[in-house]
Amino acid sequence: MAYNFPIIEDCLRCTFREQRVFCDLPREALVKLQSIKATSVYPKGAMLCLEGQSPRGIYVLCTGKAKISTTSSEGKSIILRIAEPGEVLGLTAALSNTPYEATVETLEQTQANFISHPDFLRFIQEYPEVSMKVAKQLTHNCQCAYAEIRSLGLSNSVPEKIAKLLLSWAEHPLKYTGPQKKSQEIAIRVTLTQEEIAQFVGTSRETVSRVLGDFRKKGWVRIKGATWSITNKRALENLVTT
Amino acid sequence: MAYNFPIIEDCLRCTFREQRVFCDLPREALVKLQSIKATSVYPKGAMLCLEGQSPRGIYVLCTGKAKISTTSSEGKSIILRIAEPGEVLGLTAALSNTPYEATVETLEQTQANFISHPDFLRFIQEYPEVSMKVAKQLTHNCQCAYAEIRSLGLSNSVPEKIAKLLLSWAEHPLKYTGPQKKSQEIAIRVTLTQEEIAQFVGTSRETVSRVLGDFRKKGWVRIKGATWSITNKRALENLVTT
DNA sequence: AATCACCTGTGACGCCGGTCACAGTCGGAT
DNA sequence: ATCCGACTGTGACCGGCGTCACAGGTGATT
């Protein structure tokens, strides 16, 4: 584990603040936020929320990604989306005071700010700007959910869904990588296992393996550990009908 | 068409107001709402929003239900949810200023209040309570979407999904019907066609027909026109695993 | 009564992908 | 080096359901 993991203690000094939907607040609100939040750092695999639990509060992701999923009684589970830094988690539960809709598990070392349920509700009441931010986040959640529904309900085949997923990842390619070797190649960093990809597209692990193998054989993607390269974006796009 | 369709012109006098998430506003905000809204009555089958169009504004459903769906480029479409009176439609589009996510089609004669995009944005800014209401509505949208994802992604079989759908309808049974004949029978009014049910659970019309036929043969439901009776709730529940 | 549009029911067929089973690979811990 | 656990690759099997095709049914319009 990296020891030099930088912790952002002070929201007022956070360098990312302006780029983040929720945190880009007027100074006064920020000061309040700073006073009610509790910052923690979680290792990979930590559970921030558990589906079905009553909401203790919300989390703001500062750094790191988290997997948001829901599970059936039989143990089958499906990934709703991957939350990026800046997102607020546990909102629906907090606002409607119902149990958490989903389970949140960190995918990597993650810093998050926790705000307790009562504090959060007061915070919203006091600062009207905040509820707009909340609405923005909820909008985003809806859009992701609708995309997922379209993927699950309107795609015909699993290859199509996986192609769609890869292409969506390709829209946020590795920024911190060296210069792309070939003009047409897109490098992405994939930290999900095939099992998780299967949960994302609602299929079985074996099928994901087969489909990826197929893509590789056809020379559409190249997989080297966690860095994948899309070598034939066109072909993947042709597979996608939606 | 009924001519005696009651129109609610005045939000301040609306008898339903308090029961409705969005409309239950303080007097001052209501006056403003009253001044910026435009009331219309639409026949069954009217399209309030079209997926992909840029948002002209939002609609508040006063009476009547509407089907919210999204369509793939191939013409296959899926129903996201059925909107009930009191709901606000077109929110995500209005807030994020992106094209409408979905198509909204009335399922019956429907009264709706339209608020233009700029008016709505100003309205939110001015009255902080409104953005809380908006957040509530968005929360509801998310919850419906997540339920849909669970249904699409975690159910094993189509019969299971249909059973789930029937049971969810049974939670809001016919209120305006006579006394339930048998204690165990639940009467529901179904205005969707089998085709639409198929779109709801992400399957084909034929399969819906077969499954319903099967349920009927087993004596679990009775179908007489638009009123269906669930005669064996237990059996349907046993089919559902989630 | 006749027509038409739109639902609903049903058979036949074939394929996608879920499931089971097991082998191979990789990386980290001892 | 060696072990172990977690992940990945692959073959065999088969059943659910999508698709095509067509036959009733039902209600509105004339």
**Mean pLDDT, chain A, whole residue set:** 90
pTM: 0.91
Q: How far is the CA of A207 from the C1' of C26 (A)?
A: 21
Helix (H, G, I), strand (E, B) or coil at B224: strand
Is the pLDDT assigned to residue A71 strictly greater than 80? Answer: yes
User: Is the pLDDT reported for residue A177 higher than 80?
Assistant: no
Joined tokens for residue B213: 């036929």
Across the range B36-54, mean pLDDT stands at: 93
Residues 178-237/A with CB within 7 Å of nucleic chain D are: 193-195, 205-206, 209-210, 212-213, 223
pLDDT in tens, B67-101: 999 998 888 899 999 999 999 999 999 999 999 99
Banded model confidence at residue A189, pLDDT cuts 50, 70, 90: confident
Query: With b meaning 16 or more CB within 10 Å and e meaning fewer, what string describes B32-47?
Result: bbbebbebeebeeebe
Residue A27 CA to residue A5 CA, distance in Å, equals 27
Instruction: Mark residues 95-114 of chain B whose C-beta is closer than 7 A to nucleic acid strand C.
Output: none
For A138-164, the pLDDT digits (tens) are 999 999 999 999 999 998 899 999 999
Would you give the DSSP letter of residue A12?
G
A117 CB-near residues (< 8 Å, 6+ apart) = A55, A56, A57, A58, A94
Instruction: Write the single-letter amino acid at B29.
Output: A
Q: What are phi and psi of A193, to 5 degrees?
A: -85, 170
Question: Would you state the pLDDT for residue A92?
Answer: 95
Is B148 close to A143, i.e. CB distance below 8 A? no
Q: The tokens of B6 are what?
A: 């009651």
The strand pair at A47-49 and A77-83 is best described as unpaired
Per DSSP bridges, beta strands B110-116 and B186-189 are: unpaired
C-alpha closest to that of B27 among B127, B116, B136, B120: B127
Q: How far is A182 from chain B (nearest CA, A)?
A: 32
* pLDDT of residue B178 exceeding 60: no
Rounded CA separation B224/A203 (Å): 37
DSSP letters for B46-68: -EEE-TTSPP-EEEEEEES-EEE
Name the residues in A109-168 having a C-beta closer than 7 Å to nucleic acid strand C: 156-159
C-alpha B88/C-alpha A62 separation (Å) is: 32
Residue B4 binned pLDDT confidence (cut-offs 50, 70, 90): low
Is any atom of strand D within 7 angstroms of residue A132's beta carbon? no
- Burial pattern B155-175, b for ≥16 Cβ within 10 A else e, equals beebbbbbbbbbbebbeeeee
Please check whether residue B148 touches A, CB under 8 A.
yes
Q: Is the separation of the CB atoms in B188 and B174 below 8 Å? A: yes
Rounded to 5 degrees, φ, ψ at A25 are -115, 160
Model confidence at A197: pLDDT above 90: yes
The whole-number pLDDT of residue B1 equals 41
Q: What is the per-residue pLDDT across A28-46, written as a single tens digit (0 to 9) for each?
A: 999 999 999 999 999 888 9
pLDDT score at A2: 42
Check CB contact under 8 Å for B132 and A124: yes
Q: Is the pLDDT of residue B154 over 70?
A: yes
Summarised one tens digit per residue, pLDDT across range B47-68 is 999 999 999 999 999 999 999 9
Whether CB of B207 is under 7 Å from strand D: the answer is: yes
Partnered with residue A63 across adjacent β-strands are A111
A72, A80, A92 ranked by CB distance to B241: nearest: A72
Helix B158-170 to helix B194-201 angle (10° resolution) is: 110
Contact between residue B54 and residue B113 where contact means Cβ atoms under 8 Å apart: no
pLDDT at B175 over 60: no
